[in-house]
């Protein structure tokens, strides 16, 4: 019980919630599109049932991810993928439509929501598993469940508000991308294959995490489409 009252636990919870909000915006759009043809009296049920199924499936996937991250070198692979996800987050979005098949039947819409969330949740699963590594091993999965239960309703109920907030304050997206880089640095530093060869002082772990955050920021900015110089035709 004492573990749940530590600063590290609540820091990890905050990271999970922010990751889910940043990376889960598309999931909210998919839920809305999948349920758009349901009758009004079934639409809310479709959203609730689909979201509940998606949460259960995601918890199972994250439980597998937590176990797999204990295998040597997999944290390094995960760190590289997280760095790339962070860099992509800083790039302008493509103008693409979400091609989601909607259904006028309740369970058809629920199935669409769950399948679409499964396909789209790889980045969320990896990032959340990485964030949960900061907690005690026995409390990682409860932490993940708690973070998801808090963040999913925010995504479903307030996705438009969150999107407008990000448009109004672009720094939120930048900080979120750097957070993914920070978690990537922590994951790489704690990989069991290289951990014995690294200095154990906590400051080194923070230094590697900070390097990951800066790497995402620098690469992300360099990859953004360049602006024309003033006076250029």
Of 150 and 86, the structure prediction assigns the larger pLDDT to 86
For the chain, domain boundaries? 2-223
Average confidence (pLDDT) over 81-106: 70
pLDDT score of 27:
65
Q: Is the pTM of this model over 0.85?
A: no
Helix H or strand E segment including 183: helix 171-189
Q: Residue 98 in contact with residue 120, Cβ under 8 Å?
A: no
Q: How far is CA 73 from the centre of its chain?
A: 21
Cβ neighbour number for residue 49 with a 10 Å cutoff: 19
CA angle 158, 131, 192 (to 5 degrees): 160
Integer distance in angstroms from the first to the last C-alpha of the chain? Answer: 65
pLDDT score of 186:
86
Q: Residue 132 in contact with residue 143, Cβ under 8 Å?
A: yes
Distance between CA 173 and CA 180 in Å, rounded?
11
Minimum mean pLDDT range among 74-78, 88-92, 156-160, 200-204: 156-160
| pLDDT above 70 for 118 | no
Of 63 and 51, the structure prediction assigns the larger pLDDT to 63
| pLDDT above 90 for 210 | yes
Average confidence (pLDDT) over 106-113: 76
Q: Residue 27 in contact with residue 117, Cβ under 8 Å?
A: yes
Q: For 124-157, what is each residue's pLDDT tens digit?
A: 777 788 877 766 666 677 777 777 777 766 666 6
pLDDT score of 20:
73
Distance between CA 25 and CA 22 in Å, rounded?
6
Average confidence (pLDDT) over 8-30: 71
DSSP code of 174? H
| pLDDT above 80 for 93 | no
Average confidence (pLDDT) over 217-231: 72
Q: For 32-51, what is each residue's pLDDT tens digit?
A: 667 777 787 787 788 778 77
């Amino acid at each position: 019980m004492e573990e749940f009252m530590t600063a590290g636990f609540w820091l990890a919870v905050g990271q999970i919630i922010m990751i889910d909000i940043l990376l889960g915006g598309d999931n909210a759009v998919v839920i809305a599109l999948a349920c758009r043809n349901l009758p009004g009296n079934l639409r809310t049920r479709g959203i609730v049932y689909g979201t509940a199924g998606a949460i259960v499936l995601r918890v199972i996937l994250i439980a597998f991810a937590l176990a797999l991250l204990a295998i040597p070198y997999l944290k390094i692979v995960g760190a590289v993928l997280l760095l790339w996800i962070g860099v992509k987050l800083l790039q302008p979005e493509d103008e693409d439509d979400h091609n989601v098949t909607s259904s006028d039947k309740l369970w058809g819409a629920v199935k669409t929501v769950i399948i679409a969330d499964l396909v789209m949740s790889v980045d969320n699963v990896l990032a959340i598993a990485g964030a949960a590594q900061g907690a005690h091993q026995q409390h990682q999965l409860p932490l993940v469940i708690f973070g998801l239960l808090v963040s999913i309703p925010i995504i479903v109920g307030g996705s438009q508000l969150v999107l407008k907030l990000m448009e109004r304050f672009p720094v939120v997206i930048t900080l979120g991308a750097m957070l993914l880089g920070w978690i990537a640095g922590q994951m790489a530093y704690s990989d069991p294959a290289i951990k014995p060869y690294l200095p154990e002082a906590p400051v080194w772990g923070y230094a590697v995490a900070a390097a990951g955050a800066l790497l995402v920021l620098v690469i992300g900015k360099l990859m953004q489409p360049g602006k024309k110089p003033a006076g250029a035709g």
